Amino acid sequence: MDFGFAPVARPGMTSWDMAELKLIKTAAEEGLAEAFAGARATLPGAAAVKSLRDNAFRIFEIKGLPHRRIEEWKYTDLRALMRDAKPLAAPPDAAAKVKAKAAGALLSAVGARRVVIVDGAFVPELSDLAALEKGLTIVSLAEALVIADKALIDRLSRKALFSDDPAFALNTAMMSDGVVIRVAEGAQIARPIHLAFITTSVKPVSVFTRSLVTVGKGASLSVIESHESADGVDNQANHAIDVSVADDGRLDHVKIACEGDRALHVASLLADIGATAHLNTFTFTSAGAVTRNQIAMRLEGAQTHVGIRGATLLKGRQHADNTLVVDHAVGHCESRELFKSVLDGESRSVFQGKIIVEPHAQKTDAKMATHALLLSEDAEADAKPELEIFADDVVCGHGATAGALDDDLLFYLRARGIPLKEAEALMVEAFVGEAVEAVENESVREALMELARRWLKARA
C-alpha cells in the first residue's frame, strides 16, 4: 500500500550530469533545500520534531519534486511546473492581519466558528475562539510542536499512505503552523468550524501548513476550509490536513480553493477512520493556476461510510488534479466517490482514483465515478480509475465520462426561449449540483453553487 516509488534516474539526465556523481537538482529543488537549511533552526518544534523534519526532508531530497514518471503525479508534473521555490512567507504583520479580516467572507451565511490562518500562521486574534463548546479544543500547531507530546509525535511519524509522497514529506519538513482541533469522546459540535486560509503577500511566497483534526469516539464535527490569495501573484501553497475519526464518529469536511489566478496550490488530506464512522469530504476548485488535491483515506473499522466528492470548474489554462486513494483495510465498509469537472478554454482536469481492497476486506462496497463536461474543443479531461482488489466477495465499480453538452438538450431549452449561454449555464449548474447536493450543510451548498454561478457569469 505504498504511495511512493523507487528512486530512479531522472529523465533528461545526460552522462555529463552523471559525471558529477549526484542527481541534478532543479532550481526549485535547490531553492527548497536552501529554504529548509535556512529555516530549520527557526521552524517551530522540540527536538523530536526537528528530527521528524530532517527525516521528511531526506525523503523529499531523495525523491525530488514529483514529475510525470511518477505514476501518482503523472498528469501534474511539479518539477516542470515549479520553475523556482518562492521564499517562505514571513509571519503576518499588522497590515497582513488587516487584509485577512475579510478572509472567507463567502461563507459568512454559514455562521461557522471562524479560525484564520494568515500567510501560514494561525492568528488567534482574528479567530473566533470564544465560548468553545464543551469537548472542543483548538490550538495552534506551532504551539503543539513545541510541546511535542508523545501522541503528537506518534501521529506525525506514523506510517501512512502519504509517508513517501514528496509533496507531503515537504509539508512535514516545512510546516510552519496550522491548527490542532480535537473533539472529545461523545461531543457533538453542531456549529461548523471554518478554517479560513489566506495569503496576503503581493510578492510571491511559499506557505506550508499542517492541521490536525481528531474526532473522538462517537463525536461529530463539521470543518470547512477556504483558501484564498491575490490574483497576479505566483504563490506556492502546500497545505495538509490530517484527520482521524474514531469509532462511531462523524466528520463533514468541505474544502474550497479560491486562490489567485497564478497560484500553485497543493493540498493533502490524510484520514484514518474507525468503525461505524462517517466521513464526507467535498473539494471545490474554481481558481488558481495549478491545483493538486490529494486525498488518502484508510478505513480501519467495519460498517464505516466515506463519501469523497468534488466539483472543478476551470477556464483559460488552469489545471486541477484530484488524486484519491481509498484503502479498505477491513471489510463491510462503503465508499462513494463522485467528481465532476466543467472545462472551458484550454483547461485541464485530472482525476485519479485508486481503491484498494485488502485481502480480508470482504463485503466492501466501493463506487467511484468521474464526469467531465467539456465546453471547449481545447479542454482536456484525464481520468484514471485504479482498482486493486485482493478480496473476492466485494462490490466495486467505477465509471468515467467526458463529453460536450448534449445538442438536443440545448435545442430543447432554446426552443423555450432560453438563450444559448443561459441554457449552457443552466446545464452546468445542474451538472455541478448533482455533486454538491451531497454536502450536508445547506448554507455551504448554497455558497458552493454561488461560486459556480460566479464562474459561469465570468464566462458569459
With respect to other proteins, which residue has the nearer C-beta, 125 or 408? 408
**Which helix (H) or strand (E) element contains residue 196?**
strand 193-199
With respect to other proteins, which residue has the nearer C-beta, 9 or 420? 420
Distance of alpha carbon 119 from alpha carbon 130, whole angstroms: 23
Residue listed under C-alpha cell 489545471: 319
Q: Does residue 446 interact with other proteins by CB under 8 A? A: no
Q: Segment contacting other proteins (CB under 8 A): 312-320, 331-339, 382-390, 423-431?
A: 423-431
Give φ, ψ of 107 to 5 degrees: -95, 15
| Binding-site member from 426, 438, 449, 453 for other proteins (CB under 8 A) | 426
* Alpha helices by DSSP H, 202-305: none
With respect to other proteins, which residue has the nearer C-beta, 220 or 312? 312
| Strand pairing category for 305-314 and 250-258 | unpaired
Instruction: Return the residues of window 275-294 that contact other proteins according to CB under 8 A.
Output: none
Q: Does residue 430 interact with other proteins by CB under 8 A? A: yes
**8 Å CB contact between 177 and 207:** no
Q: Does residue 433 interact with other proteins by CB under 8 A? A: yes
Q: Residue 377: helix, strand or coil by DSSP?
A: coil
With respect to other proteins, which residue has the nearer C-beta, 12 or 417? 417
Q: Residue 188: helix, strand or coil by DSSP?
A: strand
Distance of alpha carbon 25 from alpha carbon 65, whole angstroms: 9
- The least distance separating other proteins from the CB of residue 433, rounded to whole angstroms, comes to 5
| Binding-site member from 133, 422, 440, 446 for other proteins (CB under 8 A) | 422
| Binding-site member from 420, 442, 457, 460 for other proteins (CB under 8 A) | 420
Residue listed under C-alpha cell 506525525: 156
**Which helix (H) or strand (E) element contains residue 409?**
helix 407-415
Instruction: Return the residues of window 294-333 that contact other proteins according to CB under 8 A.
Output: none
With respect to other proteins, which residue has the nearer C-beta, 390 or 411? 411
Q: Segment contacting other proteins (CB under 8 A): 64-72, 123-131, 149-157, 421-429?
A: 421-429
Q: Segment contacting other proteins (CB under 8 A): 66-74, 262-270, 376-384, 429-437?
A: 429-437
**8 Å CB contact between 181 and 223:** yes
| Binding-site member from 418, 445, 446, 449 for other proteins (CB under 8 A) | 418
Q: Residue 10: helix, strand or coil by DSSP?
A: coil
| Binding-site member from 431, 444, 451, 455 for other proteins (CB under 8 A) | 431
Distance of alpha carbon 103 from alpha carbon 229, whole angstroms: 9
- The least distance separating other proteins from the CB of residue 341, rounded to whole angstroms, comes to 15
Q: Segment contacting other proteins (CB under 8 A): 58-66, 221-229, 365-373, 420-428?
A: 420-428
Grid cell of 136 as nine digits? 472542543
Distance of alpha carbon 66 from alpha carbon 81, whole angstroms: 10
| Binding-site member from 38, 397, 403, 419 for other proteins (CB under 8 A) | 419
With respect to other proteins, which residue has the nearer C-beta, 9 or 409? 409
Grid cell of 152 as nine digits? 503528537
- The least distance separating other proteins from the CB of residue 411, rounded to whole angstroms, comes to 6
| Binding-site member from 429, 438, 443, 453 for other proteins (CB under 8 A) | 429
Question: What's the length of the chain?
Answer: 460
Q: Segment contacting other proteins (CB under 8 A): 92-100, 385-393, 424-432, 445-453?
A: 424-432
- The least distance separating other proteins from the CB of residue 413, rounded to whole angstroms, comes to 7
Distance of alpha carbon 234 from alpha carbon 70, whole angstroms: 25
Within 10 A of 47 (CB to CB), how many other CB atoms are there? 8
Helix, strand, coil: what percent of the chain each, to 5? 30, 35, 35
Instruction: Return the residues of window 357-416 that contact other proteins according to CB under 8 A.
Output: 407-409, 411-416
- The least distance separating other proteins from the CB of residue 146, rounded to whole angstroms, comes to 50
DSSP code of residue 87: P
- The least distance separating other proteins from the CB of residue 409, rounded to whole angstroms, comes to 5
Distance of alpha carbon 265 from alpha carbon 235, whole angstroms: 8
| 224 to 117, 179, 282: CA distances (angstroms) | 13, 13, 9
With respect to other proteins, which residue has the nearer C-beta, 3 or 431? 431
In terms of Cβ atoms closer than 10 Å to its own Cβ (0-12, 13-18, 19+), residue 156 is buried
Q: Does residue 417 interact with other proteins by CB under 8 A? A: yes
Count of chain residues binding other proteins (CB under 8 A): 22
- The least distance separating other proteins from the CB of residue 311, rounded to whole angstroms, comes to 13
- The least distance separating other proteins from the CB of residue 257, rounded to whole angstroms, comes to 23
The greatest distance separating any two alpha carbons of the chain, rounded to the nearest whole angstrom, comes to 71
For other proteins, the binding residues (CB under 8 A) are 407-409, 411-420, 422-423, 426-427, 429-431, 433-434
